[in-house]
Amino acid sequence: MVHAQFDPTAREALAAKAVEAKTVKNLSWRQIADASGLSVAFTTAAVLGQHPLPEESAKAVAELLGLDDDAAMLLQTIPVRGSMPNRIPTDPTMYRFYEMLQVYGTTLKALVHEEFGDGIISAINFRLDVKKVADPEGGERAVITLDGKYLPTKPF
């Protein structure tokens, strides 16, 4: 049976335990994702409390992290989503994403609507990828791909 959370605190506590176990066991998110059989982005989001994992994935992740059966069950519940409880994040990395949306949000909206029309980009039918690439000018660059299905607004 599918269960949903109505209070984020249980998944937040589990996320803290999972991250502690990840650290103690010196595991990467890639290793945890490999155990789950799902993508790194989805698995990481799930372990951090933003998605439910399928039963087999939840059991595999819990076993790898040394978490109990209750944790495996909780990993399968539909969470209360939203990883930034405050409106403006204070963590520098998260703040930069917020800053990007503050600067480019209206541009993204204008370009999406010009290209597709009135509608939204789904965060449900969605893929996320993060890659590190060499910068031709020296150093490294982060390439972040947000790939969501376009859903047009339908008059009713």
Q: Catalytic amino acids?
A: 96, 99, 122
Q: 82, 7 in Cβ contact below 8 A?
A: no
Q: 33, 43 in Cβ contact below 8 A?
A: yes
Q: 80, 5 in Cβ contact below 8 A?
A: yes
Q: Is 98 helix (H, G, I), strand (E, B) or coil?
A: helix
User: CA 124 to CA 106: how far, in whole Å?
Assistant: 21
How far the first Cα of the chain sits from its last, in Å, is 33
